[in-house]
Amino acid sequence: MTDTILYTAIACLFLIGLSNLLVKIFERIESARTSLIYVSLFSKLVFLSGYTLVVKDYLENKILYATTILFAIIYATINLILKLLKNEKL
């Protein structure tokens, strides 16, 4: 169970960090306003697909892992949209 929590925490931290990094990158580019959301979702999908394939044998509770990752993706995407709306970039 601790392995599942550890691997889930690593994935969630990466997702949130990646979203924050993409916001900082795209704040400097004025022409890429709405594409930021799609690039962010695509990069999360690519990372999580590879990461899940690597750690799937070590996960004891796959439902906990999947549920937490889903909430992390939803949180990161809503956070990204709110930051863009706050900065009037969207």
The residue segments making up the domain with residue 17 are: 2-86
pTM of the model as a whole: 0.76
25: left (phi over 0), alpha (psi -120 to 50) or beta: alpha
Cα–Cα distance measured from residue 11 to residue 55, given in angstroms and rounded to the nearest whole number: 11
Residue 9 contacts residue 65 (beta carbons within 8 Å): no
Show pLDDT as tens, one digit a residue, over the chain (90 residues). 788 889 899 988 988 888 888 878 777 776 776 777 788 788 888 988 999 999 988 888 889 888 999 898 888 888 888 887 887 765
Cα–Cα distance measured from residue 13 to residue 7, given in angstroms and rounded to the nearest whole number: 10
Residue 69 contacts residue 9 (beta carbons within 8 Å): no
- Into how many domains does the chain fold? 1
